[in-house]
Amino acid sequence: MKRGDVYLADLGNPIGHEQAASRPVLIVSAQRWLDSRPPVVTVLPFTRTRRERATHVEVEPGRSGLQATSYAKCEDIRAVSPLRLGKRFGSVDPAAMMQVEAILRRLLAL
């Protein structure tokens, strides 16, 4: 598992506006954390719904393994067990990952 990978994840039942069910997620945990076989990994869920939100990063199909243009929802950052992760689809390109990182720094005031 690598930072920037896209996996299918079972996010369970939603509460409120959470993303749920089986959907692609983007791995955003630090690589050194992932290398240590962590009990949880930090992910961002994807949606196919285009909304003009400053917290969404557009990711195209292709390298990502996604079937359609999708949007990483940086505002929905969450930690999940690696046991929730299924098939690896692919990975996002470095430019998209840089956008995600910049948004997360703003959201988390880092």
**Domains along the chain with CATH numbers:** 5-107 (2.30.30.110)
Name the pTM for this structure.
0.94
What's the pLDDT at 16? 77
pLDDT in tens, 4-34: 999 999 998 777 777 778 999 999 999 999 9
Task: Report the candidate in 69, 108, 33 with the shortest Cα–Cα distance to residue 24.
Answer: 69
pLDDT in tens, 20-69: 789 999 999 999 999 999 999 999 999 999 998 999 999 999 999 999 99
DSSP string, 35-85: TT--S-EEEEEEES-----TTEEEE-TTTT--SS-EEEEGGG-EEE-GGGE
